[in-house]
Amino acid sequence: MNIVLIGMRGSGKTTIGKLLAKRLGNQFIEMDELIVQRLGQSIPEIVNRYGWGKFRDVEAEITREVARLANVVNATGGGVVTREENVRELKKKGKLVWLKANTDTLLRRIGNDQSRPSLTGKSQREDMEAVLAERSPIYQRVADFIVDTEGKMPEEVAEAIVKLYTEQELAQ
């Protein structure tokens, strides 16, 4: 069974995913990195050159490929859940775990990371608030498990997910 980490940029998917994979002896996959490798450009370059639509199309291709694998910890891009077909694919062999955090926490975590282009063209705070308001109901609906990351170290969050996994809630 795969563990599929979903959530906003800055929620800790990559950091926690690496900890989980190491702890469980599973392969770690970061979907945004696969997109960058496939197109040979950074995410901002892809978005500037082709637009978000092309990015989401490539993300859907990679989602189908990754969803076929077994025993992986998958750190998805924050918007993977915006396409229902991606959710269906990921759920075939995986449990979706939403790493939940509020706007202030997410902004603090991402800082001035220029590798994360604006989704709305607004300021970083306005962008985060708008996208979080749009996606939170989707994350809530599609998640098999919700793990609140507020005030927790990555190791604590990973441990909570390992506990779910070893209690067979994620493993079945």
Write down all domains in the chain, each with its CATH number in brackets: 2-166 (3.40.50.300)
Higher-scoring residue by pLDDT: 172, 158: 158
pLDDT more than 70, % of the chain:
92
Q: Where are the alpha helices (DSSP H) in 5-153?
A: 13-24, 31-39, 43-50, 52-67, 84-92, 103-110, 124-142
Compute and round to an integer the Cα radius of gyration of the chain. Answer: 15
Please give the pLDDT value at position 121.
72
Higher-scoring residue by pLDDT: 20, 124: 20
Helix (H, G, I), strand (E, B) or coil at 113: coil
Please give the pLDDT value at position 118.
64
**pLDDT single digits (tens) 136-162:** 999 999 999 999 999 999 999 999 999
Please give the pLDDT value at position 117.
63
* Ramachandran bin of 58, using left for φ above 0, alpha for ψ from -120 to 50, beta for the remaining angles: alpha
CB atoms < 10 A from the CB of 172, how many?
7
pLDDT higher than threshold 80 for residue 34: yes
**Taking the alpha carbons of 115, 120, 125, 128 in that order, is the dihedral positive or negative?**
negative
Q: Region 64-91: what's the mean pLDDT?
A: 97
Helix (H, G, I), strand (E, B) or coil at 153: coil
Q: How far apart are CA 95 and CA 2, in angstroms?
A: 6
Residue 159 is encoded by which pair of tokens?
């441990």
| Beta partners for residue 94, in sequence order | 2
Q: Which amino acid is at 169?
A: E
Please give the pLDDT value at position 124.
84
Higher-scoring residue by pLDDT: 167, 125: 125
pLDDT higher than threshold 90 for residue 167: no
Residue 126 is encoded by which pair of tokens?
């306005």
**pLDDT single digits (tens) 87-143:** 999 999 999 999 999 999 999 998 866 666 666 677 888 888 999 999 999 999 999
pLDDT higher than threshold 60 for residue 64: yes
